Amino acid sequence: MNDSTPADIDQACTHAAAAADTLAATTAAQRAALLRGLATALEGARDTLVPLADSESHLGPVRLNGELDRTCFQLRGFADQVEAGAHLAFSEDAAVAGAPPAGRPRLARARVPLGPVAMFAASNFPFAFSVLGGDTASALAAGCPVVIKAHPVHPQLSRATFDLAVAVVAALGLPDGTLQLVQGAGVSVGVALVRNPAIEAVAFTGSFKGGAALQREANARPRPIPFYGELGSINPVVALPSALAANGAALATALAGSITLGCGQFCTSPGVVIVQDDAASQAFVQQLAEALSAAKPHAMLHDGIRANFEAGAARVQGHTGVQTRVAGDASAATPQPRLFVTDAPTFIGSEALHDEVFGPSALVVSTKSFDESLAVLRAVQGSLTVTLWGADTDTPDHRRLVRAAQGIAGRVLFAGVPTGVAVTAAQQHGGPWPSSTQAFSTSVGYAAMDRFLRPVALQDAPPWLVQAKGQA
């Protein structure tokens, strides 16, 4: 499909801007009807959309059907949240006679939709982080039109999904600017979209390089706008000796499954495993190597991602002080898992080893002590997740470990593996730079709509306005 032209992009943004006031004035019932209608339309087109997604992504019908179900779940979840008033966060203070600071005027604090949101679809989740994924759902829940930048890896699926969404918008009598679509593999398409003066915020899921470049564009505008980018992460796993002594084999199997899930193409795929140099940990690393050697991941999303994976794995493999435990074969038809081992001083001293290798690969860092494990964790830059196995008891060391994990991650796990991000009110999918551009926000879960709502204080407002803002 042809790239959208500058005129196409400008037209899409103009239509979105024209729809902004109407969308902002919609009731909770209208927004909920839209979100539920989109979910129903997706389910109704499952037999068409899933094979189309598989042909473009190689992810398989089982995974894609599950992802479609997740997408519908979160659309309906946002509908429930809007009906419950989650988008309002309304508060009111009665007037108090007298001069400040004891006295005050009557104040009501409400939230208003930002306006048109540019949403960049992700390559690795054709449904859940794409045309009708969480960014679109949360923006619509907030009352914002969305201009969708389709991902070039699945252009036909994006167009088919958009077309059914447009039909839902029309059937509900909402303006056609509610949802708009632009597409193209060229950098110029994304840059033009971010630069368009009608766009009030950007939601992005993708590579660090692409996201950082677009964030610079958002900040360089005459009127800068918020850029909510989720850029990837190495997601450290700290496996303490007590956990590995008690359950090492099962944990190795679970971790291998997480590393290879989706051929390692998850933003929460564990890329660094921190263990201490003891017998239980050595046995665990051997079991992990055996499990990874036996794994047979499917093809990656496209040749470019495969090439980047092989280059990243080769970079780690050739690094001084790194040993290869599972080598893989770069010439194999599908990617083969890789496992590397190094020590704490090598990892701490090398920025290159802190970079994400997007694919089924992990680096084990062996340490001499708890303090050294803590130093390795602190050397990691911002991460979406940190997993802590064995910190179940309340000890001074475990408290130190939890504080360190919270300092670099948006989500800290004490059991299980980081792949799999639940859609819920308590979720946080976003961490300190470079895992995301706005550590205080989340791109998954119902708090995601907060990104697209701006607080406004209404002082001595007439009763009709206060009532409307509290019941919208």
Catalytic residue IDs: 230, 267
Q: How far is CA 233 from the centre of its chain?
A: 10
Q: Which helix (H) or strand (E) holds 366?
A: strand 361-367
CA distance 57 to 124: 8
How many angstroms separate the CA atoms of 21 and 6, rounded?
24
Longest dimension (CA), the chain: 79
Query: Helices in 182-278 by DSSP H: which ranges?
Result: 187-195, 208-220, 241-260
C-beta pairs of 249-252 under 8 Å, 24+ apart in sequence? 249/284, 249/287, 251/284, 251/389, 252/284, 252/287, 252/288, 252/290, 252/291
The H-or-E segment that residue 64 falls in is: helix 61-83
Q: Is the Cβ–Cβ distance between 183 and 149 less than 8 Å?
A: yes
DSSP 137: H
Rounded-to-integer distance, Cα 209 and Cα 84, Å: 38
Sign of CA dihedral 300, 305, 309, 310: positive
SS3 467: helix
How far are the Cα atoms of 77, 100, 327, 353 from residue 321, in angstroms, in the given order? 48, 65, 16, 11
